[in-house]
Amino acid sequence: MLVMMQAHATEEEIRAVCRKIEELGYRAHPIPGATRTAIGITGNAGPVDSSALEALAGVAECIAVSKPYKLVGREVKEEDTAVDLGDGVCIGGVELAIIAGPCAIESREQAFAIAAAVRAAGARLFRGGAYKPRTSPYSFQGLGEKGLEILAAVRAKFGLKIVTEAIDNESLEQVEQYADVIQIGARNMQNFSLLKRAGRSSKPVLLKRGLSATLDEFLMAAEYILAEGNYNVILCERGVRTFADHTRNTLDLSVIPAVKRLSHLPILVDPSHGTGRREKVLPLSRAAIAVGADGLLVEVHHQPDQALSDGYQSILPAHFEQLMDEVRQIAAVLHRSVPAPEARTPAVKTR
């Protein structure tokens, strides 16, 4: 159920409704909107008697929720959610969020070289794995906390916001100390213990769609995070498993408008994992922005043939610069924007 507050409802009236919901044995989730606040109710096994709530000051009406997800749906919040990371960086606003970096942090030198390149091209967020869930137990598993320390150094030197993955509850404890955004990978989309723990974090969460997840399963996974009190959730389409063998996965761009219709949460696209082929990253990036994605998650490596993880789907810095130029043009048509590249210092001619 949703309790819709009146447009002029005071903060004290909103708090009073939340207290009443808690007294009834449920959990209250106040979600401010553009004109009024909606309060979602969770923890109820069946219908909620709305009479006690409708009588409270500031309440406009109580609405039954028709979808199984109560907090991620448009019913609770009509306008789009924008996740503010500070320093002018926002995911879900007019400006598209372009997150770029290597699949895995391999060394300080590697991370700094790539960070300098993507920052120069206009990226404001840096991705890189310190913990890597790999198909083979013999593959590179990441540098762990040492990798997180390198990511913190990247933020300090280049001013980039950090996005990195937590693979279990233990690693999440460390990741939330270093990252600006906690990533939950596709393999963990239905790791409900991890989702609940992420929901208790103060850091925003980027949730990737599972390899075979339906739209409802994807949104219900996000619901787990919001139900714990963390409303700063970003969705990410990264491809699903199909019979196709010309790509690593099949990038399902049709899910973008579907999510936009049902949910207020921002959604990004990962064309690197979505295709598994670097030559397909640029065209699918263009398509993702054209179809309405709020940004991209792109793997960039200055020496992809020597990368310890997913080098075959990582693009070179020069190609990333081209990608930024191309999606910048598409974004303008949709009345959106992409961060401008840093001004280049002209070379000084000497005689």
Question: Residue 205's beta-bridge partner residues?
Answer: 182, 233
Percentage, residues of the chain above pLDDT 70: 97
What's the pLDDT tens digit per position in 147-184?
999 999 999 999 999 999 999 999 999 999 999 999 99
| 19-62 per-position pLDDT tens digit | 999 999 999 999 888 788 999 998 877 778 888 899 999 999 99
Question: Token match 């995911």: residue?
Answer: 91
Average pLDDT, the chain: 93
Residue 114 and residue 126: Cα distance in Å, rounded?
9
Domain boundaries, the chain: 2-63, 83-333
Q: Phi/psi at 291 (nearest 5 deg)?
A: -85, -5
State in Å, rounded, how far the first CA of the chain is from the last one: 76
Say yes or no to pLDDT of 346 above 70: no
Q: Between 203 and 47, whose confidence is greater?
A: 203
Name the class of domain 83-333.
Answer: alpha beta
Q: Strand locations in the chain, DSSP E?
A: 2-5, 27-32, 37-42, 59-63, 83-86, 89-91, 97-101, 125-127, 161-165, 181-184, 205-208, 233-237, 267-269, 295-299
pTM: 0.89
Q: Name the nearest CA neighbour of 160 among 339, 328, 308, 351.
A: 339
At 178, which amino acid appears? Answer: Y
Which residue has better confidence, 135 or 185?
185
Q: Render pLDDT for 222-275 as a digit per residue (tens, 0 to 9).
A: 999 999 999 999 999 999 999 888 888 999 999 999 999 999 999 999 999 999
Residue with tokens 């005071």, as numbered in its chain? 10
* In the predicted structure, residue 347 carries a pLDDT above the cut 80: no
Angstrom distance (rounded) from CA 267 to CA 194: 20
What is residue 203's predicted lDDT score, i.e. its pLDDT? 98
What does CATH list as the number for 2-63?
A: 3.30.70.1140
pLDDT of residue 211: 94
Q: What is the pLDDT of residue 351?
A: 46
Residues facing 32 on adjacent strands: 37
Confidence of residue 136 (pLDDT cuts 50, 70, 90): confident
Query: Taking 60 as the threshold, does the pLDDT of residue 348 lie above it?
Result: no
Helix axes of 317-333 and 281-290: crossing angle, nearest 10 degrees: 20
- Rg (alpha carbons) of the chain, rounded to whole number: 21
Bridge partners, residue 27, by sequence: 42
The burial of 90, by beta-carbon neighbours within 10 Å (0-12 exposed, 13-18 middle, 19 or more buried), is given as middle
Per-residue confidence (pLDDT) for residue 349, from 0 to 100: 52
